[in-house]
Structure 1
Amino acid sequence: MNVKRITDDFYISGQVGFSDLTDLAEQGIKSIICARPDDEEGNQPRFADLAKEAKSLNIKMLHVPIRPGQASAGDVTKFGSGYAKLQKPILGYCRSGMRAQSLWELSQKATATHAPMSK
């Protein structure tokens, strides 16, 4: 698994497998956001199964499944809310990492748009 640093608090990767969870815990990842729908590919672990294993390693998981290029405002809000509440650092993943990164970028933009202006 290839992990890419976006910020000190957010990283992305392609599909996470069961054997990756221990490595991620050892690397200090506290939370994972999955942007991949279940059954997108036949050999992909189901989110609920990964979440159960992650819980045993004290890693929280959030599922924000989107199809490529189809993130809705609700998806961005759900991601942004999870990002704000989950313990960091967070790993976002999907098939390649790009949907996770896009959700992060869209939520950052939405947050900046709604931030109160300084006086």
Structure 2
Amino acid sequence: MFRKIDDKTFASPQITLAEVAYAKALGIGLIINNRPEDESDDQTPGPDIEAAAHAAGMAYVAIPVTHAGFSMTQVEAMQQALAQAGDAPVLAYCRSGTRSTLLWALAQAKAGLNPDEIAAKAAGAGYDIGPIRATVDMLAAQAG
């Protein structure tokens, strides 16, 4: 259910409270919620996930991304969250895992990672960065 993007990052569709315990068992140190509240009636509310994460000794941050797209503020918040996690693995989730993966890709590009490498890692986890590839290329070029 959790898809490994790189050595430190996992993406996932919406998680449940039971999956918070599974994340802890995997050694996850930070859960990033990329899903806006009330996006669908069946989603577990972010504050419930946050409480379960904290109770399990994990950090939690919400960086909601709507279908309107990504802002530089969100990209920078994702970079900061990934940096603050240190060496601890991170689990980012949204409805399908796609927005979490795309935001991860943008954050990595802004940090100067090679766009082909970013695309390959996302593809290895089953996600396509095609819709944002031009932005990934631009951010990587600016960082380089």
Scaled by the length of structure 2, what TM-score is found?
Answer: 0.75
Amino acid at match of 1:91: L
Output the CA distance in 2 between the equivalents of 1:64 and 1:108.
16
Q: Which runs of 4+ in 1 moved over 3 A?
A: none
Output the CA distance in 1 between the equivalents of 2:12 and 2:53.
16
Q: CA deviation at 1:74?
A: 0.5
Q: CA deviation at 1:24?
A: 1.0
1:18-58 C-alpha deviation (Å, 9 max, x unpaired): 01111111111111111100100012111112101110101
Alignment of 1:80 onto 2:82: no
Q: CA deviation at 1:101?
A: 0.4
Output the CA distance in 2 between the equivalents of 1:85 and 1:69.
27
Output the CA distance in 2 between the equivalents of 1:26 and 1:49.
19
- Equivalent residue number for residue 11 of structure 1: 10
Percent of pairs with identical residues: 28
- Equivalent residue number for residue 24 of structure 1: 23
Output the CA distance in 2 between the equivalents of 1:69 and 1:39.
16
- Equivalent residue number for residue 43 of structure 1: 42
Q: Which has the higher helix share?
A: 2
1:53-75 C-alpha deviation (Å, 9 max, x unpaired): 11010111110001135111111
- Equivalent residue number for residue 59 of structure 2: 60
| SS in structure 2 at match of 1:83 | helix
| SS in structure 1 at match of 2:37 | coil
| SS in structure 2 at match of 1:55 | helix
Output the CA distance in 1 between the equivalents of 2:68 and 2:39.
15
Over the aligned positions, Cα root-mean-square deviation in angstroms equals 1.3
Give ranges in structure 2 of 5+ residues lacking alignment. 113-139
Greater relative contact order, per chain length (Cα 8 Å cut-off, separation 6+): 1
Amino acid at match of 1:110: K
Scaled by the length of structure 1, what TM-score is found?
Answer: 0.90
Give ranges in structure 1 of 5+ residues lacking alignment. none
Alignment of 1:102 onto 2:92: no
Amino acid at match of 1:14: P
Alignment of 1:91 onto 2:91: yes
Equivalences, count: 115
